[in-house]
Amino acid sequence: MSTILLPTLKDTLQLGYLLGKHLSSGSTLLLTGNLGAGKTTLVQGIGQGLNISEPVVSPTFTLINEYLDGRLPLYHLDLYRLEPNQVDSIYPEIYWEGIEVEPGITVIEWSEHLAIRPSNYLEIELIAAPSQGRQATFQFWGKNTYDLKFILHFAQAALQKQIKPSQK
Ligand SMILES: Nc1ncnc2c1ncn2[C@@H]1O[C@H](COP(=O)(O)OP(=O)(O)OP(=O)(O)O)[C@@H](O)[C@H]1O
Ligand SMILES: [Mg+2]
């Protein structure tokens, strides 16, 4: 488990950008965190990293948004309005299994509402940071096939940014 500081909106977008740039097909990200924690913002960054031309918008009302013109398909789900027993009816597994749809990256907001989970996924919890901005905590579940070296570099850069002002 590792935690990354995201002092500004730009950092949330940049983290998403790196995920979109580097994650491989079949990756599933389960996002958790309160209302306004920055989940959709992270997915907007992922859209940029995948080179998706359409703006990524919140699927709170549409439940699922599909973006097919980037490096890989992006399937963006938001389960906020659904109870676990209603989530089954939208068949979230077709996205992470990638059998009936072209395999891509599946990102699910309010993933706490899932009744079933993929066998292998990356969980990212976004919370308000004690000082300012947000922090993201990463946890792998399953076979741990996610290579996130690129995030370590980002985390070190973010940490240096944090340390700099107090050294002056
Ligand atoms: N690191 C950050 N620092 C400060 N503000 C941020 C940061 N990341 C995102 N925000 C801001 O937080 C607000 C809410 O973000 P967002 O809509 O992405 O949250 P959400 O988790 O998707 O909320 P919901 O649960 O309602 O879908 C936005 O105004 C966004 O600009
Ligand atoms: Mg959202």
What structural domains does the chain harbor?
Answer: 2-161 (3.40.50.300)
**Is 63 touching ligand 1 by the criterion CB < 6 Å?**
no
Distance CA 123, CA 67 (A): 21
Ligand number, closest to the Cα atom of 76: 2
Instruction: Provide the residue type at 114 as one letter.
Output: L
Q: What is the dihedral of CA 108, 111, 117, 119, to 10 degrees?
A: 60
Query: pLDDT at position 152, please?
Result: 72
Name the residue at shortest CA distance from atom 18 of ligand 1. Answer: 38
Name the residue at shortest CA distance from atom 6 of ligand 1. Answer: 9
Neighbours of ion ligand 2 (CB under 5 A): 39-40, 58, 109
Q: Which atom of ligand 1 lies at the shortest distance from residue 134's CA?
A: 1
Give tens-digit pLDDT for 24-68.
999 999 999 999 999 999 999 999 999 999 999 999 889 999 999
Query: pLDDT at position 149, please?
Result: 80
- Measured in whole angstroms, the distance separating CA 98 from the mean position of its chain's CA atoms is 18
Report yes or no: 52 and 72 within 8 Å, Cβ to Cβ. no
Name the residue at shortest CA distance from atom 23 of ligand 1. Answer: 36
Among 93, 48, 49, 47, CA closest to 67: 47
**Residue 102, token pair as written in the block:** 């072209």
**Is 41 touching ligand 1 by the criterion CB < 6 Å?**
yes
Neighbours of 121 (CB within 10 A): 21
Query: pLDDT at position 168, please?
Result: 44
